[in-house]
């Protein structure tokens, strides 16, 4: 497998639309839950073990070849917030467009035909990784890194947080991210044998509630 392909897929400059989203950080900043590097680290750790784990397992399962239709339904069931479901599909549609151009693949073409309004982003991410010749661990790491790098980058803009401090948060989370990625891949392999109900369903109710409130704001810096 190509480690260079992994760098391309995980690069924040890959035109997948993620730069327009804060991963809940904008609402958390307004609510006073993120105020500095320490509270950003707490927020990112919470995302890592809930929404991040779920996304990592879905991406890993897609990379393993689990039916994307079943995975998309599983992602829907694990995303109570209509606002977040809409965001996931919009990001999935943009990622799929970028991935089909970068790594042409019959599987990606089939996904586009099956989900004209977009499949959930982690499902698309896993199939994109598969098309790029990457494995389930790579897909899980990409999904998990996105789950924390998005809020960290957004907080730099929202709070004028020192970029060095934000990067330090991500660096210190790296060993924990590796452990969560291992758990995500293990769950994905279990789901391949037992069905998608074996995938994790880590709950983050506050993220869901904040997403609904954020979607109703008349003025906001980020789309989510």
Residue 196: HSE in the Cβ half-sphere, 13 Å Cα cutoff: 23
**In this structure, is residue 222 part of a structural domain?**
no
Domain that holds residue 131: 3-215
Among 5-9, 68-72, 111-115, name the one with the lowest average pLDDT: 5-9
pLDDT at 13: 86
**In this structure, is residue 167 part of a structural domain?**
yes
Which residues, including other chains, have CB under 8 Å from residue 89's CB and lie 6 or more apart? 115, 117, 118, 119, 120, 121
What is d(CA 59, CA 178) in angstroms, rounded to the nearest whole number?
15
For residues 58-75, give the mean pLDDT. 97
What is d(CA 139, CA 142) in angstroms, rounded to the nearest whole number?
5
pLDDT of 213 over the 80 cut: yes
Q: What CATH number does residue 165 fall under?
A: 1.10.4190.10
**In this structure, is residue 63 part of a structural domain?**
yes
Give one DSSP letter per residue of 7-57, joined into a string.
HHHH-TTSSSSGGG--TTHHHHHHTTS--SHHHHHHHHHHHIIIIIHHHHH
**In this structure, is residue 223 part of a structural domain?**
no
Residue of 20, 41, 6, 44 lying closest to 204 (CA atoms):
44
User: Taken in order 128, 143, 79, 151, is the CA torsion positive or negative?
Assistant: negative
Structurally, the chain folds into a number of domains equal to 1
**In this structure, is residue 177 part of a structural domain?**
yes
**In this structure, is residue 172 part of a structural domain?**
yes
**In this structure, is residue 188 part of a structural domain?**
yes
pLDDT digits (tens, 9 = 90+) for 69-85: 999 999 999 999 999 99
**In this structure, is residue 68 part of a structural domain?**
yes
Residue of 77, 79, 76, 115 lying closest to 94 (CA atoms):
115
Per-residue confidence band for 17, with pLDDT thresholds at 50, 70 and 90: confident
pLDDT at 145: 96
pLDDT of 1 over the 60 cut: no
pTM: 0.95
């Amino acid at each position: 497998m190509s480690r260079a392909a992994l760098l391309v897929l995980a690069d924040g400059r890959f035109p997948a639309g993620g730069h327009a989203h804060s991963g809940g950080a904008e609402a958390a900043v307004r609510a006073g839950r993120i105020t500095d590097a320490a509270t950003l680290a707490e927020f990112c750790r919470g995302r890592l073990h809930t929404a991040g784990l779920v996304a990592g397992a879905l991406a890993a399962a897609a990379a393993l070849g689990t039916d994307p239709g079943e995975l998309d339904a599983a992602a829907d069931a694990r995303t109570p917030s209509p606002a977040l479901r809409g965001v996931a599909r919009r990001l999935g549609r943009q990622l799929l467009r970028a991935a089909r151009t970068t790594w042409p693949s019959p599987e990606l073409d089939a996904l586009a035909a099956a989900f004209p309004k977009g499949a959930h982003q982690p499902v698309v991410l896993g199939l994109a990784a598969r098309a790029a010749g990457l494995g389930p661990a790579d897909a899980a790491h990409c999904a998990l890194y996105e789950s924390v790098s998005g809020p960290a980058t957004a907080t730099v803009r929202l709070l004028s947080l020192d970029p060095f401090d934000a990067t330090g948060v991500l660096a210190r989370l790296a060993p924990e991210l590796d452990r969560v990625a291992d758990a995500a891949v293990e769950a994905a392999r279990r789901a391949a044998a037992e069905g998608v109900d074996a995938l994790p369903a880590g709950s983050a109710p506050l993220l869901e509630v904040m997403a609904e409130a954020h979607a109703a704001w008349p003025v906001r810096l980020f789309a989510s």
